[in-house]
Amino acid sequence: MSVPIYILTFNCNKNFQNPDAIISTFSKSYPVDPFPEFFVFGFQEVCSILDSTSFEVVNNLLIELNETLIKSLRRKYGREYNFQTVSISHVGAIGLIIITPFLSKISNIKIGNCSCGIFASSLKGGCGIRFNYKTTDLSSSTFFTFCNCHLAALEGERNLQKRNQDVLTLMKGIDFGDGFGLIKPKNHCFFIGDLNYRATARIFNNTITDNSNEDRMIDENEELIIDIDKDELNLCRKNNEVFIGFDEPNVKFKPTYKYILGTQEYNMKRIPSWCDRILYQSYNTDSNVIVHKYDSISISDSGLLSDHQPVYLSISVPMDPPINIINTHGYLSDVDGINIDNVYLKPSNLDKARRILTFISDSTIGYALYSIGTTKGRFITIIGLIIFYFF
């Protein structure tokens, strides 16, 4: 038996996204056959940095977004199915929403998150949802884990290595309270989001030599030399530097970043890159994994505002879990259980301490932005300074 799944990731570029635009744009990518058992939506930069430091603000925003997504599913499939929310998980401006019409098949739902931004702030990080899925006849069950993330940005070797480290930080630090991080034996694991890996080679047929600060626009319909093998993520995976034991479907779509808002033109302040990706833990070669569609969605005329394009995956995976890549001691391992580079994958006390640092960092960032960036905040700050000076 196979389990059809639909997954989408979208960086909102800190912009409010019109609900009608979400409904009309996303619904076009939903598959009809096979019909997914659950729908997974990962969002990054769903709000401003200031708003992202407030749990309540982000939570309310994602609740509204969840309602919009359910409407989009009803638009596609009608009211034959009763779409319900499995769970919502978030950290900073990063949110993960899972929806299903078969909620009775799902149990033991757990959520977790981890930050990996500057000073452990939630400017970057990841959030996860784990649950047990049972077949209709209850004859078998298996665990699924989904992680949505936003990794370190910008080009350059230093930032590349930071991204690789962020992946390990999230795999280890997202604690579901069951003694494991993202990687767990007999568990299906998916890793999605704005991974921010960049193209390391010039991908346009004309050489880009303009280093000015002006926006340089190149239409996405210009001839591109598509060579995904020159992509940082693929190169690192081939060298076993990151995502050991994970696979990604063949990337046949054009770079998803960086676009001029509302256009099909690339902004050449950044190297056009495949930043938005979806990976899954590797299955045995004889497993019946079927990739139905792995593609991006053009949003230039959709009403959605972002310098990224959404990426989605329609896939069917077997009930049998992937190849185990964590041994009994909690280390990343090969098929024989032998440690790989002594990479420890279970949450530790250090990860718990990181949460305290995250709270301090987010509170400091939030207070600073509120004090400087809002009229009320500046007024309160000035009054406070006057009181402090005279009293």
Can you give the residue ranges of every domain in the chain? 2-348
Q: Measure the CA–CA gap between 8 and 296, rounded to whole angstroms.
A: 9
Q: Considering only CA atoms, which of 123, 95, 114 is closest in space to residue 9?
A: 95
Q: What is the pLDDT of residues 305-330, one digit of tens each?
A: 999 999 999 999 999 999 999 998 99
Residue 4: the pLDDT is: 97
For 292-313, what is the mean pLDDT? 96
Q: What is the pTM of this model?
A: 0.92
Residue 225 confidence (pLDDT): 52
What is the pLDDT of the chain when averaged over all its residues? 90
| Overall average pLDDT of the 291-318 stretch | 96
pLDDT of residue 214: 45
Is a pLDDT exceeding 60 seen at residue 201? no
- Percent of the chain at pLDDT > 70 equals 93
Amino acid at the residue 34: P
Q: According to the model, what pLDDT value does residue 208 have?
A: 40
Look at 37-46, 52-61, 221-230, 267-276 and tell me which has the smallest mean pLDDT. Answer: 221-230
pLDDT digits (tens, 9 = 90+) for 154-178: 999 999 999 999 999 999 999 999 9
* pLDDT for 213 beyond 50: no
Determine the pLDDT at residue 352.
Answer: 86
Q: What is the pLDDT of residues 65-96, one digit of tens each?
A: 999 999 999 999 998 999 999 999 999 999 99
Instruction: Indicate the fold that domain 2-348 takes in CATH.
Output: Deoxyribonuclease I; Chain A (3.60.10)
More confident residue, 61 or 221: 61
